[in-house]
Structure 1
């Protein structure tokens, strides 16, 4: 066959087809390599981002808190272990944890443990959060904070969904059960100084990483909410060693 003769149209068409197949194969290989590189890059990015989140959480958990020594306290003033709880009396989760915390107070009756309560009313979702905190403070002004604290949780279903004024009427009835001075209690429900105290508690919580309730700090360190009294005890016993 003459190697120098011109290619026929059929041969040219076949040659172009072969060249196209070869080109497509090369493009396919390049695309495969490109996708592999992109996939590896994406995995590395996800891993790096996850590592940054892990470091942030570690730093947050190890961050020194600046909690004040101001709050409503049950237990010895110089106790070795202090459990601080930020609460919202209308919060269903706080009500769930209420008997657990009471159980801790019963278990650690000696001078090794104390509970400190601070306010953190979630007013954006609980319309009576602030008014119930005010009721507790108004009762506290007459030496009955924890009595009001207990009844607010025990009877949360009675007042939580009421309009604010109706809820306040309930609080006044509760105060009567403790034989509080009615006139002073009613006046203190609107006491700006008591409200400022509540707001100060909330600001303190925000500055220390509190975003919801209940939030617990054990000896100054924020902890994940334990699921049971036994889980609480394990953490407390570690601090007592």
Structure 2
């Protein structure tokens, strides 16, 4: 496939365009005021872009969350980060899709990343709950969101289609596990947390790699993944 990003753009246009057509002919209350936005942090003009396809119910994604946040803080305007939804099937993670829609609902009030961080931090609680939506509403309240608007947007077909569009785009890129990262458009092969940090550091400044020694005492060294 010569240019999967073009195909991804077409998929998103088709899926979201269909949603807009449907909503314009039968506008539901849950879709009122919905604005579809990209979830990015950092400098949009940065030379290095990190894209993550993630699942809020995925333990490995939760483990990476503070590391990614640390990288964003460390490199500042030299890095742009973008979050993409890739909720695994219900037989694996039964509440992942619902959690993604809830994060999108929080994003309608400018709190996508804050809500996402809370989902990862409290993953054990809501993932084991019989009714996770109740906890999602509580998290929204804890963040100071308008709870009525949040609950309405959790039912939005536009936001559900947005999550599905991300998932479909990930399939085109052959994403088959979470988290999956793309560094400047290239799928990363990650052996450990330290390896992940080194690859990003090297992309930003090759001199960083030369200063990293084998005696690094980072507590993440040696942790491996079954990707």
Class of the TM-score when normalised by the shorter of the 2 chains: 0.7 to 0.9
Q: Deviations over 1:131-184 (max 9, x none)?
A: 110110000001100110110001111100222xx2000000010011111111
In the alignment, does 2:127 pair up with 1:160? yes
SS in 2 for 1:95: helix
Q: Deviations over 1:184-231 (max 9, x none)?
A: 100111100000000000000000110111000000010113411x32
Among 53, 74, 79, which residue is 1:113 paired with? 79
**Contact residue 65 and residue 221 of structure 1 kept, 8 A:** no
TM-score by length of 1: 0.69
SS in 1 for 2:82: strand
Among 59, 64, 68, which residue is 1:101 paired with? 68
Gaps in structure 1 of 5+ consecutive residues: 1-59
In the alignment, does 2:177 pair up with 1:212? yes
TM-score by length of 2: 0.73
Which structure carries more helix by proportion? 1
- 1:177 aligns with 142
Write the distance in 2 (CA, Å) between the matches of 1:118 and 1:71.
9
Among 158, 178, 198, which residue is 1:234 paired with? 198
Q: RMSD of the alignment, in Å?
A: 1.9
Offset at residue 240 of structure 1 (A):
2.6
Write the distance in 2 (CA, Å) between the matches of 1:64 and 1:107.
32
Q: Deviations over 1:80-139 (max 9, x none)?
A: 111100011001111111121122112112x11011000001123111101110110000
Answer with 1 or 2: which has the greater Rg. Answer: 1
What is the aligned residue count?
176
